Structure 1
Amino acid sequence: MQGKSFPALVLIAILALVVSNSLYIVDETERAIKLRFGQIVESDIQPGLHFKIPVLNTIRKFDARVLTMDARPQRYLTLEKKAVIVDSFIKWRIASVQAYYEATSGDELVAARLLAPRVDEGLRNQFGERTMYEVVSGERDEIMNELTSKLNEITKAELGIEIRDIRVKRIDLPPEVSHAVYERMNTERQREAREHRSQGKELAEGIRADADRQKQIILAEAFRESERIRGEGDAIAASTYAKAYQQDPEFYSFVRSLEAYRNTFNSKDDIMVLEPDSDFFNYMKQYDRTQ
């Protein structure tokens, strides 16, 4: 029994190996072609489970997703012969698997080498037809859309590649020009700064002069108001004094004399020279010592 079962196991193993080599799977993100001794027998195989003849057929799979190629910065001349350094990138995908394989042998590096000069030539032509302002800010989207449309037709026919988008990451001036431009911009900004500073000083002087004028007006009005109030107060005080004096002139005169004595003899260092019969000492002379 053991001698009969061994050939059966070998046969099963061979059948399993043949079946495993006959089936293959193409992923959703891939496209594939079937080759027979290097010749394409089936192109653009869609995702799913497929069958092949072992040994005779070879399957080549390619990434069907949108890929990115980062181009090297290149120097271009604008319409007015001004040099710019352009850094760009390309979005592309396989449109025809057979054409892509025949043109690049399925190698992405080869595809990139074939795409780069075409994109470079297209950008050079587009920049050469426009001014510096147009390529920097005015018509950049129009340039990219027009270039993408033109190159897409060429690469589809020649390389089996669909160009989805071409974009410029940045545009710089050459190093020898950048320094001069920077110096000119710096000079312009310094001139503008001086103008703004002088305008600010002129405005500050005007504000300061107006503030000083308003200060003088406010002080004059305040002094006038204080003098008016003081005059009204003095008038009321004089009227009050007059009324009090009319009620008792003698007592009023006595109080005023006391205030005069207090103010006069307030300091011990003061010296006053008066005649003894002066009216200043009137109430002193009337003082009776015997009382």
Structure 2
Amino acid sequence: MKRGFYFIPIAIVLVALFLASIFIVDEREKALVMQFGQIRRVKEDPGLAFKIPLIQEVVKYDARILALDTDTIEVTPSDDRRLVVDAFARYRIADVVQFRQAVGVGGLPAAENRLSSILNAQIREVLGADQVTSDTILSSDRRELMNRIRDQSRAEALALGLDVVDVRLKQTNLPEQNLNATFERMRAEREREAADEIARGNEAAQRVRAQADRTAVELVSEARKEAEIARGEADARRAGIFAEAYGADEQFFEFFRSLNAYENALQGENSSLVISPDGEFFDYFKSAQGRPAAAE
């Protein structure tokens, strides 16, 4: 009875020790078996593994490619035009043993802090190098710059057991204090261009208006010239007709001219004439035959 009584607790302890000695490594993880702070074994392949219970412990790290956003920093390219740069990186733990030795119990937070410092230093170095201008950074040619940042950061990150897979610049903007000045400069430039366009438009309008005025003057002058010519020809023809009529019948012509004179002289309701009745003006009034009276 006593022997069976002790067997159950012992079995429970043995089962607990057995379970405590088993650990599972996921395919997304890498594991270190630690004993008194020292690395005893590395488990990188997924599956079941064993450790000494109560003496050894297992520390697991993510084996996937991880992302890191760097802090926003200011860089000064060779053209002294400051830029605010915000980058992100993709990295993974390449050597888990070296990673543990480099960061200790700090783990990923400590590693990311150190990696962020490395990235910022390389960003400043590459973007601030000679012959690297702000236009290059802002253009599509910056891919080469990002590759240089990645390669130089990778060389330093290997000391942490990290492999920098990729580095990309998310934002490259002007500092806030420079944005307003740039905006004002751009607006002044656009206003100058608009003023130039308006001036050129006014100049063209003046040329068109002057040409139109000259054409109008020329047309009016030509029309007046033709009108004067037509009027002169008409007057000449009229004079010829009158002369021909006068030559055909002088008495009728004189009679006709007298009638026109009467009509023109006696127009209006208040017309008044002070003329001697014996004057030549009334010759046709004194003749019953409609002819001037014969001189005595």
> Normalized against structure 1, the TM-score is what?
0.64
In 2, the alpha carbon distance for the partners of 1:148 and 1:137 equals 18
Alignment of 1:44-123 (within 5 A): 44-106=43-105, 107-123=107-123
Alignment of 1:151-162 (within 5 A): 151-156=153-158, 158-162=159-163
- Given that 1:86 and 1:168 are in contact with CA atoms closer than 8 Å, whether structure 2 keeps it comes out as yes
Alignment of 1:162-201 (within 5 A): 162-194=163-195
Offset of 1:194 from its aligned partner? 4.9
- Given that 1:44 and 1:96 are in contact with CA atoms closer than 8 Å, whether structure 2 keeps it comes out as no
In 2, the alpha carbon distance for the partners of 1:142 and 1:44 equals 37
In 2, the alpha carbon distance for the partners of 1:135 and 1:109 equals 30
SS in 2 for 1:79: coil
Aligned CA-pair RMSD: 2.5
In 2, the alpha carbon distance for the partners of 1:166 and 1:51 equals 38
Offset of 1:39 from its aligned partner? 0.7
In 1, the alpha carbon distance for the partners of 2:8 and 2:198 equals 97
In 1, the alpha carbon distance for the partners of 2:144 and 2:187 equals 32
User: Aligned to 2:148, which of 143, 146, 149?
Assistant: 146
Cα-to-partner distance string for 1:38-79 (whole Å, 9 max, x where unaligned) = 111112532211010112211100111111111111111101
Cα-to-partner distance string for 1:99-134 (whole Å, 9 max, x where unaligned) = 000111251111112112211111111111201111
In 2, the alpha carbon distance for the partners of 1:196 and 1:68 equals 51
Offset of 1:184 from its aligned partner? 0.9
SS in 2 for 1:28: coil
Listed as ranges, the gaps of 5+ residues in structure 2 are: 209-296
In 2, the alpha carbon distance for the partners of 1:31 and 1:200 equals 73
Aligned residues: 205
Cα-to-partner distance string for 1:179-221 (whole Å, 9 max, x where unaligned) = 1101011122334445566778969x98xxxxxxxxxxxxxxx
Aligned to 1:235: none
- Given that 1:91 and 1:165 are in contact with CA atoms closer than 8 Å, whether structure 2 keeps it comes out as yes
Offset of 1:98 from its aligned partner? 0.3
Aligned to 2:260: none
SS in 1 for 2:32: strand
Offset of 1:172 from its aligned partner? 1.3
- Given that 1:44 and 1:97 are in contact with CA atoms closer than 8 Å, whether structure 2 keeps it comes out as no
Alignment of 1:1-291 (within 5 A): 1=1, 3-106=2-105, 107-129=107-129, 130-156=132-158, 158-194=159-195
SS in 1 for 2:164: strand
Letter in 1 for 2:170: K
Q: Max radius of gyration: which structure?
A: 2
SS in 2 for 1:190: helix
Offset of 1:154 from its aligned partner? 2.1
- Given that 1:71 and 1:87 are in contact with CA atoms closer than 8 Å, whether structure 2 keeps it comes out as yes
- Given that 1:44 and 1:98 are in contact with CA atoms closer than 8 Å, whether structure 2 keeps it comes out as no
In 2, the alpha carbon distance for the partners of 1:44 and 1:149 equals 29
Letter in 2 for 1:84: L
Aligned to 1:212: none
- Given that 1:84 and 1:174 are in contact with CA atoms closer than 8 Å, whether structure 2 keeps it comes out as yes
- Given that 2:25 and 2:43 are in contact with CA atoms closer than 8 Å, whether structure 1 keeps it comes out as no
- Given that 2:87 and 2:167 are in contact with CA atoms closer than 8 Å, whether structure 1 keeps it comes out as yes
Aligned to 2:231: none
Deviates more, 1:187-196 or 1:38-47: 187-196
Listed as ranges, the gaps of 5+ residues in structure 1 are: 207-291
1:36 to 1:183, Cα distance in 2 relative to 1, 3 A: same
